[in-house]
Amino acid sequence: MAKKQHAHHVDPKPLIELIASIEADLQRLKGMLEPLPEKFDPANPHNKTCDGKLTPDGVECCYRMFDDGASRYSVARAMKISFAAATHRFNAWRKAGGEKRVRALMG
């Protein structure tokens, strides 16, 4: 007498999200191994830590975009950060002197 096997339904959404997260981490790691670009680049993986926080270079990149007149929305999109995070960086940029601040060295 053969046993009946029950099909187990697995929700693919968490697995798809996990795969996307791993792919993003691998892309970031790959980017960290590539040579640094000459000019500051908002999409550069060196701008963020593994947990997604901005590195000192990432903060400086935001500030340079503000120096060039970019909006908080533009900075958020270019840096792939939230609008709230861009607003926080904008306020910190203003406290640092805004356009008159001393630029930090990058890389």
At residue 63, the pLDDT reads 94
Three-point CA angle 13, 14, 17, nearest 5°: 85
Dist. CA 20–CA 26, nearest whole Å: 10
At residue 29, the pLDDT reads 83
Q: What is the DSSP letter of 8?
A: P
Dist. CA 107–CA 95, nearest whole Å: 23
Amino acid identity, position 67? D
Amino acid identity, position 73? Y
Confidence check: pLDDT of 107 > 70: no
Domains delineated in the chain: 42-107 (1.10.10)
Question: What is the per-residue pLDDT across 33-86, written as a single tens digit (0 to 9) for each?
Answer: 776 555 678 888 889 988 889 999 899 999 999 999 999 999 999 999 999 999
Q: What is the pTM of this model?
A: 0.62
At residue 2, the pLDDT reads 57
Amino acid identity, position 78? A
